[in-house]
Structure formats: structure tokens, C-alpha cells
Amino acid sequence: MDLEALRGSRPKAYLELMRPVNSVMASVAAVIGFLMSSRFSLDVGISGIVLLSISTFLFSSSSMAMNDYFDREVDSVNQPQRPIPSGRVKSREALIFSLVLMVVGFALSFLLSLETFIIAVVACLMFTAYNG
């Protein structure tokens, strides 16, 4: 295999694990939910909305990668082109990647507020229980 092709496939494989379209939709939903619950107040400022959006993107991406980790056996039959069954990403690497995304999301959510951090912890517990 060509080395250039191999280099290009790993970053793409990690991006595939994240399911960026789903994660963008989750971010948009979080921002809409925030705006509706705050009656369209921008008290947190644009930077707060950006932090909310990025942290939601990271949590969603973490959940997607974790799902691929736990579903790797099923995916090897039903979705063999996915990053783990295709061998482009090792299962352990996908799990570590998922955890790194989650930790960065936690850090960003903590910057918003303690309440946001607690909501993030609960959400991550729920998606981890679902995936596991």
C-alpha cells in the first residue's frame, strides 16, 4: 500500500468515528435548547454559546466513537467498512480517542458552569450505559 494513502486514511478514519454531521446536529440542538430555555437571552455571551456548541460536539463525537468500540463485533458483519472492523483504527485506540474527546468536553463544560458540568457528567454516564 502507498504510504501517502495510509497517512490520509487514519485522520479520515478518526473523523468517521466522530460522525461529524451527527455531532453538528447535536450542537445545534443544544444551542437551540439553551436559547429557548433562556428566552433567547445571550447573558452567557457568544463565547459561552461557542463553548456549549463545542463541548456538545465533543460529547456527541465521544459517544459515536464509543458506540463503534462496543459494537465492533456487530459492525464487523453489518458495517465492515467502518474504521474499527476495516482495521484503520484499532479498537483500543477508538476507546482512548472517545475518552479524550469526553475529557476535553468536560473541561469546556466546567468553564461554562458547575451546573453545565454536572449535566455533562450525567449525559456521559447515560450514553456510556447505553453503549456498553
Show the DSSP H helices in 38-90 as ranges.
Answer: 45-70, 72-78
Distance CA 17, CA 12 (A): 9
* Global pTM exceeds 0.75: yes
Could you tell me which of 87, 73, 82 has the C-alpha nearest to residue 16? Answer: 82
Place of cell 459515536: 64
Distance CA 128, CA 126 (A): 5
pLDDT category of residue 35 using cuts at 50, 70 and 90? confident
Cell of 48: 459561552
Cβ–Cβ contacts within 10 Å for residue 79, how many? 15
Give the three-state DSSP class for 90.
coil
Asked if pLDDT for residue 106 goes beyond 90, the answer is: yes
